[in-house]
Structure formats: C-alpha cells, structure tokens
Amino acid sequence: MIKKFIDKLLGKPAGGSKARFGRRTEVPASVHRIDPNLVDERAINVTRTLQQAGFEAYIVGGAVRDLLLGLRPKDFDVATDATPEQVKNLFRRAFIIGRRFRIVHVVYGRGREHEVIEVSTFRAYLDNAAAEQVKGNERTSKRQLEGIQHAVDSSGRVLRDNVWGPQDEDATRRDFTVNAMYYDPETQIVVDYHGGIQDAKKHTLRMIGDPATRYREDPVRIIRAVRFAAKLNPLGFKLESKTAKPLVEAATLLADVPQSRLFDEMLKLLQTGHALASIAQLKHLGLAKGIYPLLDVVVERADSDFVKAALADTDRRVGEGKPVAPSFLLACVLWADVRDGWAARLARKEHPYPALQDAIDEVFDARIGDVSGRGKLAADMREIWMMQPRFEKRVGATPFSLVEQARFRAGFDFLRLRADAQEVEDTLADWWQEFSMASDAEREDLVQAAKAEQQAKPRVRRAPRPEGEGAAPRAAKAVPEAMSEETAAEGDAPKKRRRRRRKPGGGEGSGSVE
C-alpha cells in the first residue's frame, strides 16, 4: 500500500519501474567473497533478532563496502523494514535518536568499551517534487506513511528523510553505488541494486543517479565524495568522471547547509584516519577553498610543519585505533592565530595571562563563530593553549600541579608538536616527558636541575614579534622567547597563586599525588 502510494506520488507506472530504482541482484558468497570473520558479532545479533521477529534486516552502507574490500569496518549500520518503535521494542538497550533522520541506537557493553549499532528503517526515495506533494497532503500521509508523524514542522527535508519505503528506494537514496549494498549475515547474500559490486571491483566511486542533482539534493555529498576518494585512494579507487565533474560548481550550494553539519563533516574528513589524503584530494579536485571557512584554514596551513605534524599524528593515531580529540587538532590549526594575537598584546605590555585569554577569545570569534553548542570543545582548546606558557616554568609548584591536570596529556602532546616544529626547545618537551613519568623524588631532582640550568643561563629578553608570518618556525619562536620562565611564573594566574600555600620542599601537586 505504501509502495503504491509512493508510486502514485512519483508518477510511476503500475508494477514499478525497475529502471528508476535499479534492478535487485542477489550476489552469493562465492562471488563477493566477504570474510564472515570481519563481521561484528553485535551487528549479527541485531540482524538476527530483527529477522527472528519477522522483519527484513541487513548490514548496510560503508560496512558492506569495507567488507567487500577486505577491510574491517570501524562501525556497522543495519537497515530494516521495521519502524524505529518496532526496533526499539526488540532490544533491551535501544534508543530512538535524531529528528532530521530518526534512527535507533542499539547499545552493547558499557563505558569506553560500549558499541553502538545504528539501525535505520528503509527510507522512501522522494525527490523534491514528491516531497512537496507529500507535505501538501498531510492527512493522507499521516495515515499511510508512519514516518511523517514525526516530522514535527514538516520542512521538506525532515519530512523526506523520515518517510519509510521499500528497500529498492532505500538503496537509491544512498550516495555512492559502493555504499548502497545490503549484506545478510545469515544467508551471506549481498543485495545490490546499482552495480556496487562491479564498481567495487573496478575501483570506481560512482554517485547513484545524476550526480549534479544528487549534490543539489544534499550538498554534504560533495564533502563525502572527497572523504571516500581519500580513504579509498590507496586501494586504487577513483571518482568516476561524471561524479567528479559537477563537484566544483556544486560547492557553492554548501553555503545553505547548516554550519553545525558542515563542522561535523569537516571533522569526519580530518579525524577518520585520512586527513592528509583528504587535503590532497581537496586540492586535486579544485576544492581547496570554499567548503567551510575553518576547513579553508586547515588546507591553507596543512603545509606548515606544525599543522602537518598534527594532521599526520591524527592519522597515525586513528590507524592505531587510538582515540583522537577534535579539540587537539583544532587547537593546533588555530595556534598560529592565538600565538600572533598573544604576541601583539605582549608587545603592548599587557599582562601575559589575560593577554593570552583575550587572544583566544578573539580567535574563537573570528574562526569558530558561535561556540555555544561546542562548549566542551572550546573549553578543551582553551585549556591546551593556556597550559603552554605554564610549561615554560619548571621551578616552584607549577610543574607539580600542572602534571596533575586532567588535560595535561593533551597539553603536553601539543608542546611536543611545538618542539617538533622547532617552536620550543626539544629539551623542554623532553624534560616534561621525564617529569610526567618520574617518581616524586625524581621530580624534585628534575626541578632542581632545571633551576640550576636557569641560573646558569644569561637572561636574554627579546621583544616579542607581534605578527607571525604564517606558521614559519622563526616567527613561531616569538612567543616562547617572550615568556621566559620568570615571565611565565608571573603570568601564572596571579590571584590563585596568592591563595596557594607552598609546602616546604615540595609543591602542592606532589602533595596531592599521594
């Protein structure tokens, strides 16, 4: 009935036109050769539970693509003909989330080890005209298409994204042919409507349907094209020419996409293990500028030693399965601005700490805009930056309290990158590394050694250079030189310091370790 209704909306001939939504092909294991050992147990549990309750259920999307390529997928999505409520009722820990795109999160395990399987209901493929019609016909649609009930203010897109439909339409509304296959772990059959198997074999990234239209429907697909081109490039994948051609022209459409979505997509480009490759693709495809202002900055600075090291480090960590924080990477990308704004204020003889605070505020205003929805991210970035002058101070109580700070590790990793980029001395980063791993007694010795070193050194104070030229290492040195150990101590939150009571022979930090 639903299918008939949608067919009517789309003006399809009775019986359905196979050409529009692709021809269903069932590909057996002997052909696709997916290794069942790469399939996550929990994803199998989800599909099995749904199937036993009488629903269709498949692993879908990027996971099938990766399985076909012999890669272990980093996450598993499941598609089903069950509605979100029906899915939720089948699992002990399942949560309906999202408004623009309602899905169910089925959660396994707890804490850091928890795993989420995303379950989405097959969606109808509605182009703009069809979506408008559904909208204008709300009474009928409420009865016939359950999903619409949840499209509270029924803007075209929200409505369209929550209209349930048959599997062939669900496949057609996906982006690339290699992202639009369904794998049933029970029968080990891959269901393919758009030649995804062939494209995977030919190493082709092909947009389903007319690429220009699909970019217009959802311009975020432009960024996804870049991401998959980067991710699959080492396997020899290329964007099919028809898929690549409209990219540059379509990029202007990104101006209408909500900033928060662009921000999230930017992070996916940068934090899924292919940051450097994505930047290379952006340049290669003529998209180095104009996708999103902050991404423009990343691309611009990707050749500087410091930002390149941060991007390479992020890729390496993701590759090793380690967590990465957006705050760290963005703190690296925007450090040049903070550093220059800070140096300019120091040159005006402002107090170092408030000067750094103000420089940070200015950078948030200029580069990130409204950070209200990103409170934690902004707070973490600020903390990493505010820690930097404190690293210059290796005497007194500061090192002991600094090393106990929750975000010490991030601040230290940042310092290490600065040292790699020759912005501070390697010996400073080495000292902190040693200090962070040392026993209390060893820490005292390290502080004594630093003190002796400081006394032995003739004090040279140079005026800080107000403007750094890009992230060139020479300019980068301006601030650290301005912040001698003594200056840093001065700037060490003067009010707080007055309240601190020093313990004889040890800092407050060392006391709190016990």
Here the tokens at position 158 are: 């929200």
Burial class (CB in 10 A: 0-12, 13-18, 19+), 269: buried
CA gap 368, 126 in Å, rounded: 34
Here the tokens at position 414 are: 């940042």
HSE-up of residue 493 (Cα within 13 Å, Cβ side): 11
Per-position x/- string for 31-70, each x denoting binding to ligand ATP as judged by CB under 6 A, each - no binding? ------------------------------xx--------
Any contact of residue 218 with ligand ATP (CB under 6 A)? yes
Closest to ligand ATP by CB, 47 or 484? 47
Interface of this chain with ligand ATP, residues 142 to 161, rule: CB under 6 A: none
Contacts with ligand ATP by CB under 6 A: the residue count is 13
Of 217-225, 334-342, 452-460, 467-475, the segment contacting ligand ATP by CB under 6 A is 217-225
Per-position x/- string for 76-115, each x denoting binding to ligand ATP as judged by CB under 6 A, each - no binding? -x--------------------------------------
Q: 54-74: string of b/e by CB count within 10 Å (b at 16+)?
A: ebbbbbbbbbbbbbbeeeebe
Active site residue 175: yes
State the nearest-atom distance from the C-beta of 350 to ligand ATP, in Å: 45
212 CB contacts (<8 Å, ≥6 apart)? 246, 249, 250
Here the tokens at position 413 are: 């990793």
112 CB contacts (<8 Å, ≥6 apart)? none
Here the tokens at position 137 are: 């016909």
Active site residue 492: no
Selection from 415, 390, 450 nearest residue 442 by Cα: 450
| DSSP one-letter code for 239 | E
Cα angle for residues 333, 265, 196 (degrees, 5° grid): 135
73 CB contacts (<8 Å, ≥6 apart)? 38, 40, 62, 63, 66, 67
Which of 66, 161, 168, 175 is an active site residue? 175
Any contact of residue 246 with ligand ATP (CB under 6 A)? no
Q: Can you list the alpha helix ranges (DSSP code H) found in 302-374? A: 305-319, 326-333, 335-347, 352-363
State the nearest-atom distance from the C-beta of 63 to Mg ion, in Å: 6
Any contact of residue 195 with ligand ATP (CB under 6 A)? no
Here the tokens at position 43 are: 């994803």
Pick one of Mg ion, ligand ATP, none as the site partner of residue 22 (Cβ within 5 to 8 A by kind).
Answer: none
State the nearest-atom distance from the C-beta of 77 to Mg ion, in Å: 5
Nearest-CB residue for Mg ion: 62
State the nearest-atom distance from the C-beta of 101 to ligand ATP, in Å: 9
Nearest-CB residue for ligand ATP: 62
State the nearest-atom distance from the C-beta of 191 to ligand ATP, in Å: 13
Pick one of ligand ATP, Mg ion, none as the site partner of residue 221 (Cβ within 5 to 8 A by kind).
Answer: ligand ATP
Any contact of residue 253 with ligand ATP (CB under 6 A)? no
SS3 327: helix
Which of 7, 75, 81, 296 is an active site residue? 75
Residues of this chain that interact with Mg ion (CB under 5 A) are 62, 75
Here the tokens at position 143 are: 């009865």
Pick one of ligand ATP, Mg ion, none as the site partner of residue 218 (Cβ within 5 to 8 A by kind).
Answer: ligand ATP
**25 pairs with which residues across the strands?**
192
Chosen residue from 32, 174, 339, 345 binding ligand ATP by CB under 6 A: 174
Of 39-47, 172-180, 423-431, 435-443, the segment contacting ligand ATP by CB under 6 A is 172-180
SS3 315: helix
Chosen residue from 80, 141, 177, 179 binding ligand ATP by CB under 6 A: 179
State the nearest-atom distance from the C-beta of 179 to ligand ATP, in Å: 3
Q: How far apart are the first and last CA of the chain?
A: 70
Pick one of Mg ion, ligand ATP, none as the site partner of residue 206 (Cβ within 5 to 8 A by kind).
Answer: none
| DSSP one-letter code for 255 | G
Any contact of residue 273 with ligand ATP (CB under 6 A)? no
Selection from 121, 32, 108 nearest residue 75 by Cα: 108
Active site residues: 75, 77, 175
Binding site for ligand ATP (CB under 6 A): 61-62, 75, 77, 174-175, 179-180, 218, 220-221, 224, 272
